[in-house]
Structure 1
Amino acid sequence: MLNQGKGGIAATPPKPSLPFDPKASPTRTIWLLAWPQVLMMLFHFLIGFVDVWVAGRISRDVQASMGMVSQSFFIFLVVAIAVGNGSVAAISQSYGAGLMHRVQRYVGLSLQAAAVFGVLLLVFGYGFQGALIRILQTPESLLPIMTYLLSVYLLVLPAYYLFIIGNSILRAQQLVLYPLYGMMIVAGLNTFGDFALGLGMFGFPDLGYKGLAWSTFGSVLAGGLFNVWILRRRGLLVRRSFAPWKWIRCASPYLFKVAWPAGLMQLVWHSAYIALFSITASLPVGSVVALAGMSAGMRVESLMFLPGFAFNFTASILVGHYLGAKKPEEAKQMGYRILGQGLLVICILTVVLWQFLEPIAAFVAPDPEVRDEAVNYLRYNLAAMPFLLVSMILGGALTGAGATIYQGLVMGGTAWLVRIPLAFILGHLIFIHATGIWLAMFLSMAVQALCVAYVYQFWDWQRFALRKKRIAPAA
């Protein structure tokens, strides 16, 4: 165990509001954790939805640029997501084992990583901003918009890191309401800013796409500061949360072991999306319409990610808790229980949404050509939703166990070895149209789901769980 005496931790560590009980009803436990996270993801969806909706009211060029920047910007967030995954694994397992002092110190270690990497990537981003825009094969008409949006987005990286990693820390301890409140703040401020500064409403100046950029900056900054305040209020962010170097040297290897495959997976996955945007942007016919339709369709499609991400997070939390409590078989069964409930929810939502594709697409993309392409995109990608959910939920279980290397192998492999080659062949050589790219996305999701399910069932992913002996007793 970690040293619990003097030398860097609070005498009375914070108590969880919802103690982990491995004997509690699995269904009740799943839904107690899932429903706030569904609402959290709903507000997350509203952020992107409002961005694209307002962008579409400005021009199709702004709408296409917003979609490309939103996807490419995720490359700069991969380290935050990676550290967040490592934090969930380490903190949830320590929480399940009842080691609250270890929880405190992993909180401090995670926040230090957030601050350092947020600043480093801000500097790195400005150095390689132009290269990224060229890699995207951005059409000439979109260059000024893309450059400005990306410049402002990079400025908010440190706050974004605090927001993402802070949410992971809170979720790992079943404090799922605080991330919900934080996302509500970000969504509310972003929506107000988009309408006020993007469209010049409520007496504010009409700044167009520049207003959208600064709206994102202000809202994310508020979310990051909110997380810092909550962690202080919960007694998790105090001077003694930051352990001495001797403890950090012993504890950080596990965080790194979980984080680097997760970060690499995010990098590979989102670079594959950039390649997909590049393939779409270089289509022989209708590239700008295809990009705008893809951007609009992805925003509508992200509505379906709400339960997927909620169950993904829930799987990470509960599998980590069961492994921390030394119940590996129950951990595996919990992953399947969460998958069953998630598939039921997503299938019902898909059937309902399918009935209203055209009016929803018309609402997001008023341009008739963009609307039709958005509907075309959605038909293929909504059909792939059950496959995607298998990958998301079982992948979340692997994250909770710390087995991010397995998740990265499957997700990255299918993205680059299946999706990208198929997208080029079907989009550029066979269909000569965006339909080929959408079909490639569907087929790659099916392959990915089968691979993740095989790994979860037959590979020994529980061996990646944190053990007491992996951290030296001395602090």
Structure 2
Amino acid sequence: MNMTTASMTNSPYKTIWNLSWPQILMMMFHLMIGLVDVWVASKLGREIQASMGMISQSLFFFLVIAVATANGAVAAISQSIGAGRTLRTKRYVGLCFILGATLGSLILVLGFPFRNGILTLLQVPDEMRYVMEYFLEIFLYMLPLYYMLIITNAIFRAQKKVMLPLYSMIIVTVLNTIGDLGLGLGMWGFPDMGYKGLAWATLFSVSAGALFNIGVLYKSGYLRRKCMPPIKWVKKAFPYLFKVAGPSGLMQLVWHSGYLVLYSITASLPEGNVIALAGMTAGIRIESILFLPAFAFNMTASIIIGHYLGDGRPEEAKKFGYRILFLAIAFLGITALGLWQIIEPVTAIIAPEQVVLDEAVNYLFFNMLAIPFTLTSMIMAGALNGAGATVYNLIIFSITIWGFRLPLAYLLGHQVLESATGIWVAMLLSQGLQAAMIFYTFSCLNWQKFSMIKNKKRKINE
């Protein structure tokens, strides 16, 4: 998709939609992976279902550096393309690829010895411990290729080649579904491995998606020796990548550690903790029907803002931020209203047990009320990522999650309402505060100064 900034300006909403719909489909395939995982886990028992939710959040915790590097890649590569700097683009692609391979392997080596301590920190209930131990071990083995999948997808997005991440996600989804049903439930003559099959299905599918991306990147010429950046260039270029990725990584750490603590607060409820965990896991999967497409608009915002800032057009970048927010609220608002009409039968697909279903619907009531707030936070955060202004996201999310959401969740969940409902209320209120803060930042502060606009004439950019 080789749109120039001039052509994007002439057809703004067409541009947003053309970049967004493949990413929406990509995220829907991502949703299907989660739904199949939880559905198969529900067939194996509530302990397996709750474990699947907790391990998913734990895996995201290990992936924060990959996501941070991906955000840095989108900012640096999209701005380089917008500025017309072909060699700089190729070198940033090579640098991000090397970082992905190195960091994924490093996290595996450092994290593996502490896997049991991680489960202790999560306050995993005894009846779930044996499942979590196996999940965590297999998922750690998967980290290097998972890092490559995330970072190569970001490289393609920054180039506006949004169909390629969609293709890789289709591969992951198909293989994961076959593995879940085959290895998890013993269908089609596969060995019935139970919960162990779910872990191996994830490992095989993610590895296939990563290898597909690496093959495409090599075929396109970006992994050839001439595209690998020289050390002298890296010394000058890496600081900007780190300037973007550093706060982004810390923000991801804040976000996902916040969810881990939220899981711990839920797991330590005085009554009904396992039911609450299973309901939250199922609720998050259904919520993803809206959350993941919103993330597609988040990525579109990063791409477009990066290209316009690279082209030296910050005001047009800001206009596109508002346009993307408007389109996302209109699209997902209608989707949310339609989904709520059938929320119970849809949720029952992955939460057939009545007590888990009731708690999942209770979770969804409060979190679907927060959709306008969630969308505002996600779209504006994506725009700030594309500009390289990730430090603003770090500050805002730190305040709203650790300074507001978690203390309020404990207070309402454990002391005031003494139920999971208190935790869900805290999530709603914190989303409102977060949306207000980030919208003010995007509207009133000079976030454009974090881009490479001022560096366009420097030798590093050649």
TM-score range (shorter-chain normalised) is over 0.9
- Aligned equivalent of 1:382, options 362, 368, 384: 368
Q: Which residue in the other structure is 1:440 paired with?
A: 426
Which stretch of the first structure deviates more once superposed, 276-285 or 94-103?
94-103
Question: For residues 279 and 20 of structure 1, do their structure 2 counterparts lie closer, same or farther at Cα, with a shift above 3 Å needed?
Answer: same
Q: Does 1:217 align with 2:203?
A: yes
Question: For residues 143 and 204 of structure 1, do their structure 2 counterparts lie closer, same or farther at Cα, with a shift above 3 Å needed?
Answer: same
Write the letter of the residue equivalent to 1:101. L
Contact 1:250 1:472 survives alignment (8 Å): no
Q: Does 1:323 align with 2:309?
A: yes
Q: Which residue in the other structure is 1:52 paired with?
A: 38
- How far is the alpha carbon of 1:19 from its aligned partner? 4.1
Question: For residues 406 and 204 of structure 1, do their structure 2 counterparts lie closer, same or farther at Cα, with a shift above 3 Å needed?
Answer: same
> When the two structures are superposed, what TM-score results if normalisation uses the length of structure 1?
0.95
Within a 5 Å distance, the mapping from 1:97-112 to structure 2 comes to 97-112=83-98
- How far is the alpha carbon of 1:361 from its aligned partner? 1.5
- How far is the alpha carbon of 1:23 from its aligned partner? 3.5
- How far is the alpha carbon of 1:385 from its aligned partner? 1.0
- How far is the alpha carbon of 1:470 from its aligned partner? 8.2
Contact 1:251 1:470 survives alignment (8 Å): no
Q: Which residue in the other structure is 1:291 paired with?
A: 277
Q: Does 1:456 align with 2:437?
A: no
Q: Deviations over 1:273-294 (max 9, x none)?
A: 0000000000001000000000
Q: Does 1:269 align with 2:255?
A: yes
- Aligned equivalent of 2:15, options 29, 33, 41: 29
Q: Which residue in the other structure is 2:135 paired with?
A: 149
Contact 1:67 1:292 survives alignment (8 Å): yes
Query: What CA distance in whole angstroms lies between the structure 2 residues aligned with 1:472 and 1:329?
Result: 26
Query: What CA distance in whole angstroms lies between the structure 1 residues aligned with 2:333 and 2:308?
Result: 28
Contact 1:346 1:386 survives alignment (8 Å): no
Write the letter of the residue equivalent to 1:263. G
Write the letter of the residue equivalent to 1:199. L
Query: What CA distance in whole angstroms lies between the structure 1 residues aligned with 2:53 and 2:213?
Result: 27
Q: Does 1:130 align with 2:130?
A: no
Q: Deviations over 1:344-385 (max 9, x none)?
A: 011101111111111112111111111111010111111111
- How far is the alpha carbon of 1:388 from its aligned partner? 0.3
Contact 2:280 2:359 survives alignment (8 Å): yes
Query: What CA distance in whole angstroms lies between the structure 1 residues aligned with 2:95 and 2:301?
Result: 23
Structure 2 unaligned segments of length 5 or more: list them.
none
Query: What CA distance in whole angstroms lies between the structure 1 residues aligned with 2:195 and 2:226?
Result: 44
Query: What CA distance in whole angstroms lies between the structure 1 residues aligned with 2:88 and 2:169?
Result: 27
Q: Which residue in the other structure is 1:189 paired with?
A: 175
Q: Does 1:332 align with 2:331?
A: no
Aligned residues: 460
Q: Which residue in the other structure is 1:364 paired with?
A: 350
Q: Which residue in the other structure is 2:144 paired with?
A: 158
Query: What CA distance in whole angstroms lies between the structure 1 residues aligned with 2:74 and 2:403?
Result: 29
Contact 1:37 1:310 survives alignment (8 Å): yes
Q: Considering only aligned residues, what root-mean-square deviation do their CA atoms show, in Å?
A: 1.2
Query: What CA distance in whole angstroms lies between the structure 1 residues aligned with 2:20 and 2:368?
Result: 22
- How far is the alpha carbon of 1:307 from its aligned partner? 2.3
Q: Deviations over 1:70-106 (max 9, x none)?
A: 0111111000000000000000001111111111000
Query: What CA distance in whole angstroms lies between the structure 2 residues aligned with 1:61 and 1:77?
Result: 24
Query: What CA distance in whole angstroms lies between the structure 1 residues aligned with 2:152 and 2:292?
Result: 20
- Aligned equivalent of 1:139, options 125, 132, 137: 125
Q: Which residue in the other structure is 1:169 paired with?
A: 155
Q: Does 1:232 align with 2:241?
A: no
Q: Which residue in the other structure is 1:249 paired with?
A: 235
- How far is the alpha carbon of 1:473 from its aligned partner? 4.3
Contact 2:31 2:292 survives alignment (8 Å): yes
Q: Does 1:393 align with 2:379?
A: yes
- How far is the alpha carbon of 1:233 from its aligned partner? 1.8
Q: Does 1:203 align with 2:170?
A: no
Query: What CA distance in whole angstroms lies between the structure 1 residues aligned with 2:270 and 2:291?
Result: 31
Q: Which residue in the other structure is 2:267 paired with?
A: 281
SS in 2 for 1:450: helix
Q: Deviations over 1:32-60 (max 9, x none)?
A: 10110000000011111110010001111
SS in 2 for 1:364: coil
- Aligned equivalent of 2:79, options 63, 76, 93: 93
Structure with more of its chain in helix, by fraction: 2
- How far is the alpha carbon of 1:235 from its aligned partner? 1.7
- How far is the alpha carbon of 1:471 from its aligned partner? 5.2
SS in 2 for 1:202: helix
Q: Report percent identity of matched pairs.
A: 54
Query: What CA distance in whole angstroms lies between the structure 2 residues aligned with 1:470 and 1:24?
Result: 27
- How far is the alpha carbon of 1:474 from its aligned partner? 9.0
Which stretch of the first structure deviates more once superposed, 233-242 or 53-62?
233-242
SS in 1 for 2:238: helix
Structure 1 unaligned segments of length 5 or more: list them.
1-15
